Amino acid sequence: MLEINKNDICALIDLVDESDKITFDLVKESLIKMGKESITIIEESLALCLDSDKADKLQEILYEIRFNEIKNELVLWNKTEPNSILKGFIAISKMNFDIDEDFVLSEVEKHRRKIWSELNDKLTELEKAIIIQKYIFNNFHFQEDDKIELNIQKIFSSKNCNKISVVFLYGILVQELKIAAYPVVINDEFYFCHTHKPIKDLNNIDEADISFYLSPIYEDGILSFEDFANMYIEVLFYDYSDILPISTFDFFAETITYIQRIYGNCNTKNYGKLLSFLIYSDLGD
């Protein structure tokens, strides 16, 4: 592994404001190769920078370094825990934010334990799902936002949730509680398809496997398979395949696509390149 010297990083940062493009490109390439070890030093320089042009260049370099780190983390996630909404959300949150993983994991476990204490084997799967949904509404503040930030740490530190974060929070908690539920994104709405038992291959799911659909956002958003199919196939003319659950990987790609389309690029900084990576890499295969 390349040994990183702080003085070398500082020397390269001093050259960032060079007007010569060739010099800047070489400096940028060198800092990117140094990877995450250079992030803190670049951030410190950025905080003290009074030159807007240099600040923009430092932001550009910082973004590239973060993006490379996230790509590596997503590759690892896909190899080790591809179904984990929690691990995928942590990785994607790092695109724009510094994430304290220990804090996030501790918070998830805390809430998992509290919900688990309310569950028992006598409850139906529907009753368990309703308990989880009510727990979220009772312990987190739901508010409509004109700005969507994919920041898992902020959800737990602020206890504030928008439409997207409620969906992610529900998905994380049902998974951590070992409840069989899989995401469905259709007509700009987000559901979880609860099944009678865990499904090993979502490509082979049958309607007999499906117990009900639940929208984490709406307290009355629970539908049987028949009602769900009638609404989206018979009334809104979607295909049968559209009402079936998708993989966690596709869930992230669909969610980022939705955020970009509904909220615009000004509120989805850096997600375009991440979306391209999710769609055009072979991770989802």
Question: Can you name the residues that pair with 212 across neighbouring β-strands?
Answer: 194
- Side chain identity, residue 52: S
- Per-residue pLDDT for 30 more than 60? yes
Higher local confidence (pLDDT), 78 or 109:
109
Mean pLDDT of 14-36: 89
> Cα–Cα distance between 152 and 166 in angstroms, integer?
11
Termini Cα distance of the chain:
31
In this structure, of 14-18, 102-106, 139-143, the range with the lowest mean pLDDT score is 14-18
- C-alpha closest to that of 232 among 242, 222, 224: 242
> Cα–Cα distance between 98 and 250 in angstroms, integer?
24
CB-based contact 173:132 (threshold 8 Å): yes
CB-based contact 212:222 (threshold 8 Å): yes
* Tens digits of residue pLDDT in 3-13: 568 889 999 99
* Structure tokens belonging to residue 25: 């490109």
228: left (phi over 0), alpha (psi -120 to 50) or beta: alpha
Q: How confident is the model at residue 233 (pLDDT cuts 50, 70, 90)?
A: very high
Question: Can you name the residues that pair with 190 across neighbouring β-strands?
Answer: 185
Measured from the Cβ of residue 53, the count of other Cβ atoms closer than 10 Å reads 11
Q: What is the mean pLDDT of the chain?
A: 90
Mean pLDDT of 154-175: 95
Q: What are phi and psi of 211, to 5 degrees?
A: -90, -50
Mean pLDDT of 144-155: 83
Q: With helix as H, strand as E and coil as C, how does the chain read?
A: CCCCCHHHHHHHHHCCCCCCHHHHHHHHHHHHHHHHHHHHHHHHHHHHCCCHHHHHHHHHHHHHHHHHHHHHHHHHHHHHCCCCHHHHHHHHHCCCCCCCHHHHHHHHHHHHHHHHCCCCCCCCHHHHHHHHHHHHHHHCEECCCCCCCCCHHHHHHHCEECHHHHHHHHHHHHHHCCCCEEEEEECCEEEEEEECCCCCCHHHCCHHHEEEEECCCCCCCEECHHHHHHHHHHHCCCCHHHHCCCCHHHHHHHHHHHHHHHHCHHHCCCHHHHHHHHHHCCCCC
b or e along 242-253 (b: 16 or more beta carbons within 10 Å of the residue's beta carbon)? ebbbbebbbbbb
Q: 68-72, 94-98, 152-156, 274-278: which has the highest mean pLDDT?
A: 152-156
CB-based contact 210:195 (threshold 8 Å): yes
In this structure, of 6-20, 106-120, 156-170, the range with the lowest mean pLDDT score is 6-20
- Side chain identity, residue 9: I
Cα torsion 109, 112, 118, 121: sign? negative
